[in-house]
Amino acid sequence: MKTSADGKKKWALLLTKPAGPIPTAAELNGGMDFSCNVLESDIAWSATASDRFNEKVSCQKGNAQALGASNYDLALTLVREWLASGTGADVSGADAAYQAVKVKDTTVWIYMRETDKDSTEPWADGDEIFLGGEVKTDTPTRPNNEGNIKRRVEFLAQNMISEVPVAAAGP
């Protein structure tokens, strides 16, 4: 059955590396859920065309190419959150994800689920991770002066996984 993508993206940001190559639901749920801080209209979180190189052997006619390293387009615009008292950013609450990625060359682990589950539902064993992994941050930019205060952060992929189920918890 087809499902509307509206309200279906769930994001998790981890400050420490997961124990295995694929995180568990407990690790993802223990991280920061910043789904309500990602500007939907400005998400760039996808694989792009892999590197390609000529790999023709002598007996082949015409060109032959081989696939090289994977490439990714990773950038998110985060809507900033402030304390009601006017004393600054909500560093331990809703603005915590931005605080974690605002310094250039910071390493974090970010994962995105995009399924028929609502973004408010917790991660569970077997949920599909659309794309995620270890990323490094670039310096945030100020995208525009319209609407809410926000910052765009580009990420450099270091070690990514795609279209895999959340790892089952150990014994």
Residue 133 pairs with which residues in a beta bridge? 110, 160
Determine the topology of domain 9-165 in CATH: Elongation Factor Tu (Ef-tu); domain 3 (2.40.30)
Strands (E) located in 16-103? 32-33, 44-48, 52-54, 65-67, 71-79
Say what the pLDDT of residue 171 is.
61
- Domain assignments of the chain as residue spans, ordered by start: 9-165
- pTM of structure: 0.92
Say what the pLDDT of residue 5 is.
79
Close Cβ partners of 129 (under 8 Å, ≥ 6 residues apart): 22, 23, 111, 112, 113, 161, 162, 163, 164, 165, 166
Chunked into runs of 10 residues, the chain (171 residues) has average pLDDT values of: 83 97 97 96 95 91 92 96 85 92 98 95 96 98 89 98 90 61
